Chains A and B, each alone.
Chain A
Amino acid sequence: MLIGLILALIAGSLVSLQNIFNTKVNEHTGSWSTTTLVLGMGFIASLLMGLIMEGKNMFTLQHMQPWYWFSGMIGVGVVICLVQATRLLGPTYAISIVLTSQLGFALLWDSLGWLGLTKVAFSFNQLIGVLVIVGGILVFKLGGAREPQRDSTTGKPQQALNLK
């Protein structure tokens, strides 16, 4: 229980870092160049980690089902949707909806137990919990615009990493 929670927190922190790094790459290239690089890097890192942790076992793919090969394309769908949503709605609204949808579907999958995952019985507590979290996301994202700090002398947004 505690291990799962800690791993989820680690995953979230890494996602945050990755988003920032990917945005930096995206600023200089295009969204597909970035996506290709990001997935390529992920592939190499996963392969290396697998070889370190499991050695030759890495290549014994038991019970491999054909659809496993195609699951990676979901990631491409994510990129298309996020790029379009951000373009049409702006990042704040787009991300608010993305996060809400992520949680809603998580609850749906748990209660349906699709794809052979352990079913987590739907409870009223879970629904309230998810609604409070969604409320938190909306307050965080939409409540009071977070403006960049402005330089008091020039009125221009202050560059970060400006060491003073």
Chain B
Amino acid sequence: MKGIIFAFIGGACITLQGVANARISQDIGTWQAATITQFTGFVMALMILLFVRDAKKQGFKQVKPLYLFGGALAAFVIFSEVTAIQDIGVTLTISALLIAQLCLTFLIDIKGWFGVMKQKMRLPQFIGIGMMIAGVVILKF
């Protein structure tokens, strides 16, 4: 039950983040909003990190350098998401975003790109993606 509540609140927070970014962007601009929210998040995470000290300093050296820059993608995620929310609303934005996210993850899993464990895809995964796309069509028309 506790796990379900965490997952539920986590999902709410992800959407809230997009909505808050869209709101802040209206006032101070999109890149400014992305910079400020990432900065305060970074400071807070750093404080927690100093408190819990889960860092294995050697660990970062074992990671392929490309992967260390994954966080930089967030700048473009926020810019695209905020612009989309302002253009087509929250529901349609999140729906399209999730479909693209699941489809690409699906493709990467099948192909085993980036060294992820290759996974077989069965019929349910294709039906699932089909239903999600059908849902977006129903949303819009």
Chain A nearest CB from B77 CB (Å) reads 5
Q: Which residues of B contact A28 (CB under 8 A)?
A: 56, 59-60, 62-63
Chain A nearest CB from B94 CB (Å) reads 4
Cα distance, A109 to B26, chains bound together (Å): 17
Contact with B along A86-113 (1 / 0, CB 8 A): 0111000111011111111111011000
- Contact call B77/A149, Cβ cutoff below 8 A: no
- Contact call B80/A99, Cβ cutoff below 8 A: no
Chain B nearest CB from A135 CB (Å) reads 5
Q: Which residues of A contact B120 (CB under 8 A)?
A: 146-149
- Give the interface SS of chain B, mostly helix, strand, loop or mixed: helix
Cα distance, A68 to B35, chains bound together (Å): 11
Cα distance, A158 to B58, chains bound together (Å): 28
- Contact call A32/B48, Cβ cutoff below 8 A: yes
Residues of A within 8 A of B (CB): 1, 3-5, 7-22, 24-25, 27-33, 35-50, 53-54, 57-58, 61-65, 68-82, 84-85, 87-89, 93-95, 97-107, 109-110, 114-118, 120, 125-126, 128-144, 146-149, 157-162
Residues of B within 8 A of A (CB): 2-4, 6-17, 19-24, 26-29, 31-46, 48-49, 52, 54-56, 59-60, 62-64, 66-81, 83-102, 104-105, 108-109, 112-125, 127-141
21 contacts between A and B (CB under 8 A): A5-B96, A11-B100, A12-B97, A13-B101, A16-B108, A30-B54, A30-B56, A61-B36, A77-B9, A81-B10, A84-B3, A84-B6, A88-B2, A89-B4, A94-B3, A102-B11, A120-B91, A126-B91, A143-B128, A146-B122, A162-B112
